[in-house]
Structure formats: C-alpha cells, structure tokens
Amino acid sequence: MKIVVLAGGISPERDVSLCSASLISNALLSKGHQVAFVDVYEGIPDFEKKTEADLTALFEKPDSGKTFSYSISAKEPDLEALIASHGGRRELIGPGVLDLCRKADAVFIACHGGMGENGRLQAALDCIHVPYTGSGYLSCALAMDKHLSKTLLRHFSIPTVDWILFDPEKDTLDVVYEKIGFPCVVKPIGCGSSCGVSIVHDESEWEAAITYSTKYEKTCLIEKMVKGREFSIGILDGQALPIIEIIPKQGFYDYKNKYQANSTEEICPAALSEEKTKEAQGYALAVHRALGLGNYSRVDFILSEEDDTFYALEANNLPGMTPNSLLPQEARAIGISYEDLCEKLVLSASIKD
C-alpha cells in the first residue's frame, strides 16, 4: 500500500504527533508498505515546482533504508515561532498535502490535538474521498470538546466528574465556589496531552491556572477534583484492551510526566479485581459507543478513593502511538506487536462520509 502519514500541524501536541508519526512510518515501512511522511502544516517544500512524478517519489520504499525519528521536548512547542518562520501563514493545511493524499491508498492520521482531533482534517479528507484511519469528523468533534462529550456521557448514565464551563471575560470566581469548590482542575475545553491543565488547590493558584488554560482556548472547563487511582483503557475493533494504571512519580499526569522518560510508572495489566476490571472496561466501551468513535480509541478514568466509582475523564479519538504510549502497551499485553498494530489500523482505513 501507498500510505501518507500526516503529522505535526499547529497544535500544542505537535511534538507528540511528530514523534508518533515517525515511529508509525518506520513500523509501516518494516511491514512492506510505501510511506510518505508529511507535516500537515508545513506541507511539501517547493510544491508549486513539483511534478506528478515528484509527488509519487515522496513515498519511501520499504528497502530504501530510510528511518524517521523525533524527540519530544519537556516543554510544549512554540507555535507562534513556527508560524513566524512560515511568514505568518495560519492556514492549517500546507501546500500540496491534499494532493499527496489523493495519491495514497490510505492516510494514517497521526496529528494529535487541534485539527487532527477536532474533526476538521477528517472532514477535509472526506471531501476528497480519501480513506483514513480512526474516527469520522463528527465523532472527533464530540470527543475533543470536553463539555459536549461529558454532557453525552451524563445522558448515557456514564459516571463523569462534575464540571462547569468558565468564561474568564464574563464569569467570576463566585460560580466556582458555588458549583465546584476547591480543589478543582482547570483545563482548556478542547486540548489534549494535559496542555493547559492545572490543579488548583485554593484561590491563590487561580489566576495562574486561568492564564495557562486560556493560552490555548478562551473557554475553560472547571472540574471537581477527585482523588484516586488513574487508569486508561484502549478500545480496538470493538473490544476493550487490558487496563493500564498511570502513577506519576511527582505531581500529576501533566505534559512533562506523559512524555519524558522515567517520569511515570505505567502498570499493564492494572492491579484490579476481575469485577472492577470488567466494570471499567464496560464503561470504556460505553464511552466509545456514546461518542460514535471508530475502530480505536482510548478512554481515561479515575477510580475515586472516596466512593470506589470509576469516573470517565475524557476520550481520546487519536491516542498517542509511540511504542511506549498507552494504547500500544495495552495491545502488546495481548500479543499485538507495535508493527502489527500500526498495520492493523491502516488496513482498516476507510472513507467515513
């Protein structure tokens, strides 16, 4: 197969995406596929000078000896510097990207956050009738918007932590005291990888948390703080994978603890009773179905130490895909190698319109 692996973009999760996509590309090459790796924002250099043959030549052959690599920094990327380096261009899809996608048998979407997860990239590929991995545009939009997804979970009687929307330009701290209280969690309504997320213990930490959250989006989601064990459960082809427990060595599961080596202990399968395992996996499947997600996803939970209830935190419609990311670890626990997982996902690529 000829496969385009789309990565990067101008999302706060850009670096995570480039790392995932590099390793996905290597895995697909190792399975005998031809792969074109492209940054969806940067596009194809000098595209206007490229011929049809030049575009076809961008697909690396399995025997080319080409490998890809990318390391994730401890800090979130400077997106404004990236945009400035491209003359201030804010178009989300760079030159030639869709033209290259038309030449592929399938597109592997490895763009985390932003247009890669909120449905816009999926809609663009639907419009040109190109098969792609993961969920369709509407499911992506629902999963990425934390307010909409939590509202749906409540409708389907799936436990989720109490929350409110907070507009810093209109709302006051009084509404937080009235409906949520401290401690609470402040996060952007549509970011992943814990970008913009803070735990606020009291009013003295409030302004810094709001400033950090609104760096990414104007509206914040304020959640009640629930203490307990944190878990993640992947869904693959309609089945729940073994549960993984996440134990940060310091602080909470923020951007640094997610992507820097030796920052977090991850245990798979998690040490849970058979009854609690089935309960959590049942909730994960229910979340996946409620949001209408595709052939794979990952759902994050916290098991409250107060009432022993699993609370769904959020669904990830494009989970991280480095070999040490949570979903690949869970797949490995049932004998699916990273290379086989990547091929399995791309072979299921489809047109969603």
Tens digits of per-residue pLDDT, 199-245?
A: 999 999 999 999 999 888 888 999 999 999 999 999 999 999 999 99
**What CATH architecture does domain 2-134+339-347 belong to?**
3-Layer(aba) Sandwich (3.40)
Distance separating alpha carbons of residues 323 and 87, to the nearest angstrom: 35
pLDDT at 73 over 80: no
Report pTM: 0.90
The pLDDT-based confidence of 72 (bands split at 50, 70, 90) is: confident
319 or 323, which is more confident: 319
Name the CATH superfamily, with its identifier, for domain 163-224: ATP-grasp fold, A domain (3.30.1490.20)
Say which residue, 260 or 122, is predicted with more confidence. 122
Q: What pLDDT shows up at residue 64?
A: 87
DSSP class of 148: H
> How confident is the model over 245-254, as a mean pLDDT?
66
The answer to whether 341 touches 347, Cβ cutoff 8 Å, is no
Q: Which of 350, 332, 326, 337 is nearest to 30 (CA)?
A: 337
273 φ, ψ (degrees, to nearest 5):
-65, 160
The pLDDT score that the predictor gives to residue 230 is 95
- Whether 154 shows a pLDDT value over 80: the answer reads yes
23-66 pLDDT, tens digit each? 999 999 999 999 999 999 999 999 999 999 999 999 999 988 88
- Residue 87, burial from CB neighbour count under 10 angstroms (0-12, 13-18, 19+): exposed
Structure token pair of residue 115:
């247009």
Q: Rounded to 5 degrees, what angle do the CA atoms 109, 42, 340 make?
A: 25
Q: Where are the beta strands (DSSP E) in 259-329?
A: 264-267, 296-304, 310-316
Of the listed ranges 76-80, 99-103, 177-181, 336-340, the least confidently predicted one is 76-80
Q: Where in the chain are the domains?
A: 2-134+339-347, 144-160+228-317, 163-224
How confident is the prediction for the chain on average, in pLDDT? 91
Residue, of 76 and 261, whose pLDDT is higher: 76
* Helix H or strand E encompassing 196: none
The CATH classification number of 144-160+228-317 equals 3.30.470.20
Query: Confidence band (pLDDT; 50, 70, 90) for 352?
Result: confident
Is pLDDT at 303 greater than 50 in this prediction? yes
Per-residue pLDDT reduced to its tens digit, 158-176: 999 999 999 999 998 999 9
